[in-house]
Amino acid sequence: MKYLLAGAAVAGALAIAAPARAEITVCAWGTITGPDALVNGMTYGTRDYLEYLNQTKGGIAGNKIRVLMLDGRYKLDEELKIYRRCADQEQAVVINGWSTGASKALRDQIQEDGIPFISESFASEVLDPKKYPFTFIAGPTYEQQMIIALRDLAAKGGKKVVLMFSDNEYGRGPVDVVRKSGIIEKLGLEVVDLVEYRYDAQDITAQMLRVKGKNPDLVYVQGSTPQVLVALRDAAKVGLPAKLFVGNLYNISPAIPEQLGPAAEGFRAVQTYAFFGDDIPAMKEIQTYG
């Protein structure tokens, strides 16, 4: 009993002496499983960086970060559920969300809750500093990336464009925005075909045959790495060269050359960040930590 009392006294004294160090909760949901799991590196990266801050710099101003990495499974209802949990139960100070569908569905809710939301979706429809001041995107939008590729084609004298996209918000949204903006015609280009496919499609040979018939100068894929893998594989089957295809930032993946080999030769993707190994300050941090 004496020991217990002494212990309680010591604990009490400590509690008074040391200012309460609160934990900072950061919520990051990605797609650990599901059809898009191949590109979940972005969530692992977030978690690893925050863990790195915890281990080497003692968190932020002495406060440890609690990283909550959750699995949205690339399913909208699952992601909406996770958002509610992060905002209400976990009291996260920052939420790192995933899909375009979820970011768009939650865009008004996020402003109401007033919790900074970093979107892994780069759709321009969630980016509006006036209307959605709490939503943040690091880098150019999907639409801007598409325009980069289109400008490149126009500068090289190409004309015929095929736009490929998945049948969800991530695929349809940005393609609609760019087409309605009229920039394609302004660049002197012509959309010869639109190819919509299921985001978990396993075979799109038929669509590739159709694309081949249109004889395009560029096929822009608004898709994720798993879809590009299927597209390039089936394009090779029907004799469409990979050099016609251009993807966005989600297609900078070692999986493409590794899995496809010569079938991926010449495939390009719009890079909006530094490459791994580039001479940048963050790279030095990664190397010392690793």
Partner 1 sequence: MRAGGGLSLLGAGVFGALVSMLIGLPALRLRGLYFAISTLAAQFILSYLFKILQPLTNGVSGLVVKPLSLFGRPVASDQEYAVICVALLFLSWAFIARVMQTNVGRAFLVVRESELVARGMGIDVSQTKLKAFLLSGFFAGLCGGLFAFTSRLANPEAFEIGLSVDQTAMIIVGGLGSLVGSIVGAAFVTLLPEAIERLGELLPSADLVSAFREMAFGILIVLFLLLEPRGLVALARRLGTRREGGSSATVRPGAGVLQSGVAVSAQNRREV
Contact status: 163 vs partner 1 (CB under 8 A): no
DSSP classification of residue 124: G
Among positions 171-190, residues that touch partner 1 (CB under 8 A) are 172-173
Contact status: 167 vs partner 1 (CB under 8 A): yes
Please report how close the Cβ of residue 262 comes to partner 1 at its closest, in angstroms.
32
Span interacting with partner 1, options 57-65, 105-113, 230-238, 276-284, rule CB under 8 A: 105-113
Please report how close the Cβ of residue 61 comes to partner 1 at its closest, in angstroms.
26
Contact status: 101 vs partner 1 (CB under 8 A): yes
Contact status: 23 vs partner 1 (CB under 8 A): no
82 or 269: whose CB is closer to partner 1?
A: 82
| Residue 203 φ then ψ, to 5° | -150, 120
Please report how close the Cβ of residue 169 comes to partner 1 at its closest, in angstroms.
5
40 or 233: whose CB is closer to partner 1?
A: 40
142 or 245: whose CB is closer to partner 1?
A: 142
Q: How long a stretch of residues is the chain?
A: 290
* Both structure tokens of 167: 């049948």
Among positions 25-84, residues that touch partner 1 (CB under 8 A) are 32-33, 68-71, 75-77, 80-81, 84
* Both structure tokens of 203: 């075979």
Helix-strand-coil percent breakdown of the chain, rounded to 5? 50, 15, 30
CA-nearest of 249, 209, 247 to 229 is 247
Rounded CA-CA distance 148/234 in Å is: 25
Rounded CA-CA distance 96/31 in Å is: 12
Contact status: 105 vs partner 1 (CB under 8 A): yes
Rounded CA-CA distance 115/92 in Å is: 8
Span interacting with partner 1, options 148-156, 167-175, 179-187, 262-270, rule CB under 8 A: 167-175
Please report how close the Cβ of residue 105 comes to partner 1 at its closest, in angstroms.
5
DSSP conformation letters of 132-184: -TTEE-SS--HHHHHHHHHHHHHHTT--EEEEEEESSHHHHHHHHHHHHHTHH
Q: Which residue ranges make up the site for partner 1 (CB under 8 A)?
A: 32-33, 68-71, 75-77, 80-81, 84, 88, 101, 104-105, 108-109, 167-169, 172-173
